[in-house]
């Protein structure tokens, strides 16, 4: 697939592929990332699918979706570095497959959902608030989610998060309940003026693509996408206790900025079933129930996370020192890179058959999450990566913080 040379109109890129029976559409908007607007975006994501000037009720909206061969809609919003994105996502059965060109009706429905929301429905807003807060309460009952939220709040205090405190239900409830219909309308009108790009992927003819672009009628802006943040990390060790059976540990390292090929290879070195996290922490020493590494490109950090027993903390840290030493052993690193490349390209072999991976890759390319490289350029970089290239980066690994949410001591 030619990412960079794809046809595009009005910032919407056309990626035809008749291997699939569906069409996937995404429209990206770059929005303000103040934390106090998080509840507005979260509520908008649901409200826009429930209240519209063209339909009397949310049941009528759902009925129309069913009439359009179960067309699927959702809105999403997420942070990446300095940026926050709001996106419309849609999936539909390809008209070419069912031999019924309903595309014009589907595109008009998408346009109406996007451009004609009804911001007068207080009853619906109240329902959306109740449903959202129910989901928050359910999430807070999950220990894994709780530990993850506490890590970001306590270790990366200036990280952009949806909420300044993601574990206090009273705080989140107050934030959600304070949102008004006027807040939703004002912010959404700003969002519509901040369209940056989008794509149409799947079994779709060029005339259908042009029909969509004309119907949706969006004018793209040209923002600067700069994700680097220099997020400060609280140094040293931190522990908090919670009533749960197992403990969660996060170890944060600084590392010099990695290229996309370096990120891909290091990910496989650490994370596959043959990777160092699994082989060293679980198979060799039996220290964890599960472990993984996250590479935070926009602030140059490597985070190794594990579910473990609170009494194994020191042995776990010693095992991590062994992993870092392995990453800085030139002869061993060369073998690790060769194995990681084999696994990476084995996964790439099935790429063209994986719908979700394709659209994720397209979106990453358009939003420059992969530094503006397309998949072919990344693959070439992985193929040509040497141990000396990666060794220059692994030598810069420096532990900054050890954070643990530990099970309480029995009295």
List, in sequence order, every residue forming a beta bridge with 248; answer none if it has no partner.
Answer: 307, 405
Q: Give the pLDDT of residue 408.
A: 80
Average pLDDT over all residues of the chain: 93
C-alpha 411/C-alpha 409 separation (Å) is 6
pLDDT digit string, tens, across residues 114-165: 999 999 999 999 999 999 999 999 988 899 988 998 898 888 876 766 777 7
Q: Give the pLDDT of residue 411.
A: 46
Please state which CATH number belongs to domain 236-407. 3.30.830.10
pLDDT digit string, tens, across residues 333-392: 999 999 999 999 999 999 999 999 999 999 999 999 998 899 999 999 999 999 999 999
Q: Give the pLDDT of residue 30.
A: 95
Q: Give the pLDDT of residue 45.
A: 95
CB-facing half-sphere around the CA of 213: CA atoms within 13 A: 21
- CB count within 10 Å of CB 372 equals 14
Q: Degrees (nearest 5) of the Cα angle 313, 164, 304?
A: 25
Give the CATH superfamily of 7-216.
Answer: Metalloenzyme, LuxS/M16 peptidase-like (3.30.830.10)
Where do the structural domains in the chain lie, given as residue ranges? Answer: 7-216, 236-407
Domain 7-216 matches domain 236-407 at the CATH topology level: yes
Q: Give the pLDDT of residue 153.
A: 86
Percent above pLDDT 70 for the chain: 98
pTM comes to: 0.93
Note whether 397 and 255 are within 8 A (CB). yes
Residue that wins the pLDDT comparison between 242 and 32: 242
124-128, 259-263, 293-297, 334-338: lowest mean pLDDT where? Answer: 293-297
Q: Give the pLDDT of residue 203.
A: 97
188-196 mean pLDDT: 96
Q: Which segment, 29-43, 47-61, 74-88, 213-227, is predicted with the most confidence on average?
A: 47-61
């Amino acid at each position: 697939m030619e990412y960079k040379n794809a046809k595009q109109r009005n910032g919407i890129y056309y990626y035809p592929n008749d291997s699939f029976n569906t069409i996937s559409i995404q429209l990206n908007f770059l929005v303000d990332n103040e934390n106090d607007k998080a509840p507005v975006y979260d509520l908008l994501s649901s409200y826009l699918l429930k209240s519209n000037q063209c339909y009397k009720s949310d049941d009528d909206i759902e009925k129309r979706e069913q009439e359009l061969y179960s067309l699927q809609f959702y809105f999403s919003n997420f942070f990446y570095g300095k940026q926050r994105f709001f996106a419309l996502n849609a999936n539909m059965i390809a008209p070419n497959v069912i031999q019924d060109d309903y595309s014009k009706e589907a595109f008009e429905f998408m346009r109406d959902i996007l451009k004609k929301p009804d911001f007068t429905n207080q009853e619906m807003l109240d329902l959306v608030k109740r449903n959202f807060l129910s989901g928050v309460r359910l999430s807070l009952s999950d220990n894994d989610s709780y530990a993850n939220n506490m890590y970001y709040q306590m270790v990366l205090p200036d990280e952009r998060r949806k909420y300044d405190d993601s574990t206090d239900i009273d705080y989140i409830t107050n934030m959600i309940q304070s949102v008004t219909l006027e807040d939703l309308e004002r912010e959404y009108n700003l969002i519509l003026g901040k369209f940056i790009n989008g794509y149409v992927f799947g079994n779709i003819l060029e005339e259908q693509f042009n029909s969509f672009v004309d119907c949706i009628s969006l004018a793209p802006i040209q923002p600067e996408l700069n994700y680097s943040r220099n997020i400060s990390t609280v140094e040293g060790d931190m522990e908090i206790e919670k009533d749960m059976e197992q403990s969660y540990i996060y170890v944060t390292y600084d590392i010099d900025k990695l290229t996309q090929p370096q990120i891909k290879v290091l990910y496989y070195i650490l994370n596959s079933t043959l990777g160092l996290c699994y082989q060293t922490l679980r198979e060799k020493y039996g220290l964890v129930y599960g472990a993984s590494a996250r590479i935070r490109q926009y602030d140059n950090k490597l985070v190794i996370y594990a579910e473990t027993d609170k009494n194994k903390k020191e042995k776990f840290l010693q095992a991590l020192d062994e992993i870092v030493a392995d990453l800085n052993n030139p002869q061993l690193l060369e073998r690790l890179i060769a194995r990681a490349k084999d696994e990476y390209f084995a996964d790439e072999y099935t790429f063209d058959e994986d719908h979700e991976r394709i659209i994720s890759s397209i979106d990453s390319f358009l939003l420059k999450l992969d530094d503006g490289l397309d998949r072919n350029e990344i693959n070439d970089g992985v193929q040509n990566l040497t141990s000396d290239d990666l060794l220059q980066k692994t030598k810069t690994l420096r532990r900054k913080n050890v954070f643990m949410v530990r099970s309480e001591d029995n009295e």
